[in-house]
Amino acid sequence: MLRFIVRRLLQLIPILLGLSILLFAWLRALPGGPAVAALGERATPAKIAAYNEAFGLNQPLWQQYLKFLGRAVRLNFGTSQTTGRPVTDEFLTRFPGTVELTVFAMVFAIGVGIPLGYLAARKHGTWIDSSSVIGSLLGVTIPVFFLAYLLRLIFAVQLGWLPGSGRQEVRLEATHITNFYVLDGLLTREWDASWDALLHLVLPGIALGTIPLAIIVRITRASVLDVANEDYVRTAQAKGLANNTVRRRHILRNALLPVSTTIGLQTGLLLSGAVLTETVFAFGGVGSTLRQAINTRDYALLQGFILILAIVYVLVNLLVDISYGLLDPRVRVK
Amino acid sequence: MHRRRATRVLAASAAALTAVSLSACASSNRDNANNDTKAASGGTLVFGAPGDPAMFDPAFATDGESFRVTRQLYDGLLTTKEGSADIAPALSESYDVSDDGLTYTFHLRNDVKFTDGTDFNADAVCANFERWYNFTGLAAAPAASEYYQNVFGGFKDTPDVPSLYKSCKADDATTAVVEISQVTSRFPAALTLPSFAMQSPTALEKYDANNLSGNEDALSYPAYALEHPTGTGPFKLESWDKGNGEVTIVRNDDYWGEPAKLDKIIFRTISDGNTRRQELEAGSIDAYDLVAPADYASLKDGGFKVLPRDPFNILYLGINGGNVAGSKANPALKDLRVRQAIAYAIDRETVVKSLLPDGAEAAVEFVPPVVDGWTEDVTKYDYDPAKAKQLLTEAGAMGTKLRFYYPTDVSRPYLPDPAAMFEVINKNLVDAGFTTEPVSLPWNPDYLDAVSAGQADIHLLGWTGDYNDAYNFIGTFFADAGGGQSKEEFGGFKSPEIFDALKKADAEPDPATRTELYQAANKVISDFVPAVPISHSPNALATSDKVSGLVPSPLSAEDFATVAISG
Amino acid sequence: MTATVGNRRERIDALAARAGALPEGDGGVSLVKSAYRRLRRNPVAILGALIVVVFLLVALFAPWLAPKDPYAQSLLSEVRQGSIPGPRAGYPLGVDQLGRDLLSRLIYGARQSLLIGVVATVLGSFVGLVLGVLAGAFGGWVDTVIMRFVDILLSVPGLLMAISISVLLGQNQVSLMIAIAVTQIPVFARLLRGSMLVQRDRDYAVAAQALGVKRRKIVLSHVLPNSLSPVIVQATLSLATAIIEAAALSFLGLGDPDISRPEWGAMLASAQSVLSVRPQLAIYPALCIIVVALGFTLLGESLREALDPKFRR
C-alpha cells in the first residue's frame, strides 16, 4: 500500500512542474507582460524598466522560471493588485468558506443522490426510474448560475425561507477563529452563529451540488443495475438469502465502488464551479474573489488562485485514488 | 502616553474647558460600561455599500465609499446643507472674507473635541492646513492627495507648481486666519469636501499618518488611516473586517452636536446591485445605495422606501479631438461638423425616458440646471438623424469609424447601466451613418486609464459635482490642462476661447458677474462640441420601512447621525 | 477492467476501450448499419435527434425565420425602468430591455450559440484527435510526452482553464471558442489513444502488420476509422457542455464584447438585472440552452448505447 501511495505521489511531480510552467508562461504571455500586469496599463516606460530590474525580468527566461518556482514552492505568489495583500493570505482567508460550501454541496449530492439512484434502479422501468433519469439529465444541462438565481429568487426573496447571500448574518457579530464559520460557532459556543452560517450554506450548496447530484444518481443507478445482474448476486439470491441482506451486503456495497470515484472527482470540480455559485450568492469564498479578480484584471491573484486550486484539485484526486486503493485491492496491484 | 498629551492640552486650555474635558473623560468611561450592558440601545443599522472603502484618512481618499465612512467620523470647517449642495457652517460657525478676497477668517466653535480627547481649536485647523501643504514623497503623489492637488495645486516642496494655500495663523483659540494666493470660486466651497475634514493633530502624529509606503500604483497606508482615524464626527471607527468587507462604526457619545441616534452602523460591501436589493428584501440589510432604476417600483410595492437624490451630475459622450501628438484618434473628429453630427445623432429624450429613472432629464450643457452658470441659451443639438447624415456627407466623413469605449461591471450614479447606454447610443450612431468598434473594459483601473490616456475615439463618462460651483464641472473637464491644450481624454483640443472663458469666470470675486461669465463659458463650450452632454440622472438609496431620518443628498453626502431604526 | 477505474484518466480510457471493443469480424459498415437500426428503434434517440435538427435548422435559416431585425430597438421608446412591454401583435414573446423583438433574438441567438459550440468542439476534438493519434500510433516517448501534457491540462478544472485562456487572449468571440476548445482537448486525446491501443492489438491489425503493410497505412486506413465511433459519441456530448460553458463565460463577463449580438448566454446574463421585472427575458434563453443541451446529450447517450456492444444483450 505504501508503495502505491509513494508511486502516486511521484507521479504528481511532473504534473505540478508542468502546471507551474504553464502558469508562468501565462503571466508572461499577457499583453504587456508581468510589469504591465502589476503596474497597470498607464505605467511609464521608466517605471516598467525599474520593475523589470527589481523583479529580475531582464534575466534569461529559465532563471526567471526557477525564481518563480522557488517562490511558488514557498507559497509566495506575490501580492494582489487590488487589495495589496499577499495572494496566499487572500486565499487562506477565503478558502474556508469555499470548503464549507463544497462539503455541504457534496453531503447534499451524496445524501440525496445515492438513495435516489438506488431507488431508481430498484424500481427499474417505473415512473420513479424515468423521472429520476430525466431529472438527472436536466441537472447537468441547466446553467448553474441560472439555477442559482432561480433558487435565490424563489426561496430567499419571494418566500423568505432562507438567507440568499453572504456567509453569515452580520448583525450577529460572531467571533471568527478559524474562518470556518460553522466550526467557529461550535468552538465559541455561539450556537446561533453556527446555525446561521449553516443556513447560509443551504441555497448556494444546493445550486452547487446539483451537477454532482445528477451524476451520482446516474452512476448509482447504472452501477446498481450492473451489479444486480452479476453472477454472485444471482448466486446469493439462489442460496435463498433474504432480499434485504442481498441488497445491503452484495448489491449496494459493490455498486458504491464506482460511485465513490465519482464523488472524489466531483469534489475537486466543485472548487471551480464555486466561481459561478459564490458570485450569485455574494458568498465570500475563493470563487467570488476569482470573479472579482477577473473584473479588475488582478493577474497576480488570478495566477496564484488558479495554481493553488489546481494543486488542491490534483491532491483531492490523489486522495480519491488512495482511498480507492484501500477499498479495492485490485487497483494496487495493477 | 495618553496622559502626557492630555496634560498638555489641559494646560493650554481655559479653566472652563478643563471641566468639559474631564467630564468628557468620565462620560466616555461610563459609556464603555453602558455598551457592555447594552443599556441605552439605539440599534444597529446594516448598510449595503456597492464597494469597499480604501481607508479612512480623508486627505488621501478619492472614492465615494471611503468618503461615505469618513463623513461620519469627521467634520469639516464647512459643510453642505442637509439635502442640498449649498454651503453651511460646521466646525466654523461663520467666516469673514477680506475685500481683496484673499484672507479668510474662520470663527470656530469652542465646544469641540476630537475623539482622542484633543481639543479642536485654531491651532488644530492650522495644523491640518500645514499638514496638507507639507505633504512630500508618496503623500504628494497624484494618486494619494488627489483632491488637495485639484483644489490647492502644489505643495511647499514644489515651488514650480503654485499653491493656492499661503498661510494659516491662529489669532486665538477660536479664530483661524487662512490666506490664499488668488481668488477662485473653489474656495472656500471646497472646504465642504470630506477631504478637507479636520483631523486630530495628536492622532495624526501618534499613528504616523503621513507615512505612505508601496508605490504610486499600489499605495499602502499607515496605521492612522487603517485603524485609528480620529475626528470630531458623530461616530467613531470600531473595526474594519477587510476580508468580509465590513466596516463597523459606533456612536461618539461626546459629539458636539446632536448625538447620533444609532448605536452602531455596519457598512457591508455588496458589489452586485441585484444582491443588494435582494438582501434588503430578505431583511439582512436595512438600507443600500445605488438602487437600479428598474427596481424603484418593485421596491416601493414591497413596502420599502426609495430615496432619490436630486440629480447633481452629468453623463456625457466624450470625443477625442485627436490634437495630441501621436494620437491614434480618428482624424475626422477634428472636423466640427463630424462632432456636431454625433451630437445630432443621439436620441437623448428616449435614452432618458427608457434607460434612466424618473426624474432624469436630458442635458443641454455640462452643468446641471441647479448650478449657478447654467443657461437655457446655448446651442442645442436636438435629435435629428437626417441632419447628422447631412453633416457627415458635407464633411466627406460618411461611415467614419469610431472606437467606442464603455465600462463593464459598474454602476455609476449618472450611469446605472453602461452596457444598455452603450447599446442605444451605438445604434443611434450607426443609424446616422457612423461605423463603430465597441471596446469594453473593466471600470477601474483599465477603463479610466485607457480613457484618460486618450485611447478612445468616443467614450461614456460622467461626473457628480462636489459642491455648487460651475467650475467643478466644466473646469474639471475642459480647462487648460497645460500647454494650451485640454485633457487628453478630449484629445487635447486647443480652444483659447474656452480656456479664457473658464479662467476669467473662476477668478471673478463678484458672484453675479461670475454667474454671467460661466453662462458665457457654457455657450462657447456648446458651440465647440468637445463632448456631447446626455443626461442628468437621479440615483437613489433604499431603506426598509424601519429606517427613518436618512436624508438623501445630491452630493451623496448623507449624514447618518440623524438616522434611526425602529424595532 | 471496467470496474477498476482509479481516476478520471483511466475512466476515459476504459470508456474508449468499451466503446471500441467491437465483436470480432464486425466490419465498419455493418456496425453503422446495426447502430442506425438500434437508434431508429429508440424513442429517446429520436427525440434527441429531433431537437438537434430543429435547432440546427433554426440556426441555418434564422434570417428567414425571424419576424424582425434582432438589432432594431423598435419598441425602446415604450420601455420604462421597471416595465418592459409584453407580447403583442408582431412581437409574440414581447421585447427585451432595449425594445428588441425577443423571438427574433432567440432565433438569431441559436445561430451564435450553436456556432460557438460547434466550432469549439470541432477545434477541441480535432486537436485532441491529432494528439491521441500521434500518441496511440507511435507509442514510446511520443506517447509519454503527449500524455503528460494532457495530464497537465486535466489538472486544471475546465472552467478555470477556460477563464485563464479568455483572460489571456482578450475578450472576443474567437478567444471564447478557443478557451472552450482547449478544455475539450484532453478528453478526446485520451479517448482516441485508448481506443487505438485496443484496435492496434486487434487481429486484423496484427494480420496486416504480419503481411508487411506499412504502419502509417495500417493506422490511417484501418485503426483510425475503427476508433472513431467513441469520438463521435463524445463530440455530441461535448457540444452540450460547450454551449453551457459559453453561457457561463458570458455570465462572468468574458463573452463576446459586441453585446448587441444576440447570443443565449449573453442574453441570459444581461437579463439577470430585470429578473424581477420580466423574468421571461431570462427564462426563454435559459430554456433554449437547456433544451439544446438536452438534445445533444440524449442523442449522444443513445449513440453510445447503440455503438456499445455491452448494450446489445
Q: Quote the mean pLDDT of chain C.
A: 81
**SS3 assignment, position B112:** coil
Name the closest residue on chain C to residue A274, using Cα atoms. C159
Cβ distance of B283 and A160 shorter than 8 Å: yes
Q: Looking at chain A from residue 279 to 318, which residues have their Cβ under 8 Å from any Cβ of chain C?
A: 279, 290-291, 294-295, 297, 299, 302, 306, 309-310, 313-314, 317
Tell me, yes or no, if B306 comes closer than 8 A to chain C by beta carbon: no
For residue A89, give the chain B residue with the closest CA.
B243
Q: Which top CATH class is B313-536?
A: alpha beta
Nearest to A310 among C148, C155, C298 (CB): C155
Residue A17: closest CA among chain C residues belongs to which residue?
Answer: C152
* Per-residue model confidence (pLDDT) at position B41: 53
What is the arithmetic mean of pLDDT over B538-549? Answer: 93
* Dihedral sign from CA coordinates of B130, B132, B136, B139: positive
pLDDT confidence band for A330 (50 / 70 / 90): low
Of C157, C170, C253, the CB nearest to A295: C253
Largest CA distance in chain C: 78
Using a CB-CB cut-off of 8 Å, the residues of chain B touching C268 are: none
Give C187-233 pLDDT, tens digit per residue.
898 888 887 777 777 776 777 777 777 777 777 776 777 777 778 88
What's the rounded Cα separation, in Å, for the pair B557 and B542?
A: 15
- Helix B496-506 to helix B511-528 angle (10° resolution) is 160
Contact call for A145 and C248, based on CB within 8 A: yes
B251: helix, strand or coil: strand
pLDDT value, residue B322: 84
Residues of chain B with CATH 3.10.105.10: 313-536
The number of beta carbons lying within 10 Å of the beta carbon of residue A48 is 18
Contacts 24+ apart (CB under 8 A), C141-148: C143/C193, C146/C189, C146/C193, C147/C189, C147/C190, C147/C193, C148/A14, C148/A15, C148/A18
Q: Do A295 and B245 touch (CB under 8 A)?
A: no
Closest residue of chain B to A284, computed from CA coordinates: B244
* A143 vs C: CB within 8 A: yes
- Of A74-78, B195-199, B496-500, the range with the lowest mean pLDDT is A74-78
Facing residue for B420 by CB, picked from C98, C258, C276: C98
Instruction: Please report, as a single letter, which amino acid is at residue C184.
Output: Q
ipTM above 0.85, yes or no: no
Chain C residues with CB-CB distance to B353 below 8 A: 77, 80
Q: Around Cβ B524, how many Cβ atoms within 10 Å?
A: 19
Cis bond before residue B445 (omega within 30° of 0): yes
The three cell numbers locating residue A18: 508542468
- Give the tens place of pLDDT for each residue, C150-195: 888 888 888 888 888 888 887 788 888 999 999 999 889 888 888 7
A&C contacts, CB < 8 Å: 134
Stretches in chain C below the pLDDT threshold 50: 1-11, 14-27, 312-313
Three cell numbers, residue C195: 481506443
Distance from C-alpha of B535 to C-alpha of B523, rounded to nearest angstrom: 17
pLDDT for res B1: 33
Instruction: Tell me the residues of C at the B interface, defined by beta carbons under 8 Å apart.
Output: 71, 73, 76-83, 97-99, 171, 253, 257-260, 270, 272-277
Mean pLDDT over the full length of chain A: 81
Cross-chain Cβ contact C157/A144 below 8 Å: no
The region that residue C30 occupies, defined by phi over 0 for left and psi between -120 and 50 for alpha, beta otherwise, is alpha
- C285: nearest Cα among C239, C253, C244, C256: C244
Least confident of A118-127, B50-59, B531-540: A118-127
Question: To probe the interface with A, which of B41, B272, B286 has the most A CB atoms within 10 Å?
Answer: B272
Q: Is the Cα torsion angle A76, A78, A84, A90 positive or negative in sign?
A: negative
Nearest to B442 among A160, A163, A296 (CB): A296
Tens of pLDDT along B269-324?
A: 887 787 788 888 878 899 999 998 888 888 998 899 999 998 999 999 999 988 88
Question: Could you give the CA distance from residue A257 to residue C135 in angstroms, rounded to a whole number?
Answer: 30
Q: pLDDT at position C309, please?
A: 56
CA distances from C210 to C128, C202, C205 (A): 30, 12, 9
**Which chain B residues in 352-391 lie under 8 Å from chain C, judged by CB atoms?**
353-358
- Bridge partners of A86, per DSSP, are A79
Residue B246 forms contact with A (CB below 8 Å): yes
pLDDT band at B31 (very low <50, low <70, confident <90, very high): very low
Q: What is the pLDDT of residues B342-393, one digit of tens each?
A: 999 999 999 999 999 988 999 999 999 989 899 999 999 999 999 999 999 9
Optimal mutation site among A102, A141, A154, interface C, most CBs of chain C within 10 A: A141
Mean pLDDT of chain B: 87
Average pLDDT score over residue span A264-274: 78
Yes or no, beta carbons of B354 and C253 under 8 Å apart: no
Identify all chain C residues contacting B418, using CB atoms and an 8 Å cutoff: none
pLDDT for A73: 82
- Quick check: B475 and B486 in contact, CB under 8 A? no
Cα four-point dihedral sign B480, B482, B486, B490: negative
Pairwise CB contact (< 8 Å): B274 & C277: no
* C contact test, residue of B272, B280, B354 with most C CBs within 10 A: B354
CA distances in angstroms from A251 to A227, A247, B194, B390, C3, listed in the order given: 6, 5, 72, 81, 14
| Closest residue of chain A to C271, computed from CA coordinates | A146
Q: Which of A94, A165, A184, A289 to mutate to test the interface with B (most CBs of B within 10 A)?
A: A165
- Smallest Cα–Cα separation from B435: which of B397, B407, B461? B397
Residue of C nearest to A265 (CA): C8
SS3 at position A6: helix
Rounded to whole angstroms, the Cα distance separating B39 from C286 reads: 53
Percent of chain A with pLDDT over 70: 88
Q: Which residues in chain B have Cβ-Cβ distances shorter than 8 Å to C257?
A: 438-440
Q: What is the four-CA torsion angle of A188, A189, A194, A195, rounded to 10 degrees?
A: -170
- Model confidence band, residue A331 (pLDDT cutoffs 50, 70, 90): low
d(CA B195, CA C256): 40
In order of start, what are the domains of chain A with their CATH numbers? 93-333 (1.10.3720.10)
Would you call C80 and B353 a contact, using CB atoms and an 8 Å cutoff?
A: yes
Residue that wins the pLDDT comparison between A71 and B308: B308
> Does domain B2-8+19-272+540-565 fall into CATH 3.40.190.10?
yes
- Pick from C8, C168, C297: CB nearest A26: C168
Q: Could you say which residues from 208 to 237 on chain B have a Cβ atom under 8 Å away from some Cβ of chain A?
A: 214-215, 217-220
Given this model, what pLDDT does residue A19 score?
85
Q: What is the architecture, at CATH level 2, of domain C43-65+94-311?
A: Orthogonal Bundle (1.10)
Residue B126's beta-bridge partner residues?
none
Of B273, B292, B423, the CB nearest to C260: B423
Nearest to C77 among B298, B350, B419 (CB): B350
> What pLDDT shows up at residue C18?
47
What residues does B542 pair with on adjacent strands?
B288, B306
Q: How big is the CA angle at A149 (ends A148 and A155), to the nearest 5 degrees?
A: 85
Q: At what angle do helices A299-327 and A2-29 cross, to 10 degrees?
A: 160
Dump pLDDT digits (tens) for A14-46.
Answer: 888 888 888 888 877 776 666 766 665 556 667
Interface membership of B36 toward A (CB under 8 Å):
no
Which range is most confident: B14-18, B457-461, C295-299?
B457-461
Cα–Cα distance, C268 to A143 (Å, whole number): 10
- Strands B313-319 and B531-536: what pairing? antiparallel
Contact assignment for A296 to B449 by CB distance below 8 Å: no
Q: Do A294 and C272 touch (CB under 8 A)?
A: no
Q: Given strand B92-97, what is the order of strands in its sheet?
A: B92-97, B103-108, B175-180, B165-172
Q: What pLDDT sits at residue B49?
A: 93
Residues of B in contact with A277 (CB under 8 A): none
Confidence of residue B72 (pLDDT cuts 50, 70, 90): very high
Q: Parallel, antiparallel, or unpaired for β B435-442 and B401-408?
A: parallel
State the DSSP string of C163-176: HHHHHHH-SSHHHH
Residues of chain B with CATH 3.40.190.10: 2-8+19-272+540-565
Pairing state between β B87-89 and B78-80: antiparallel
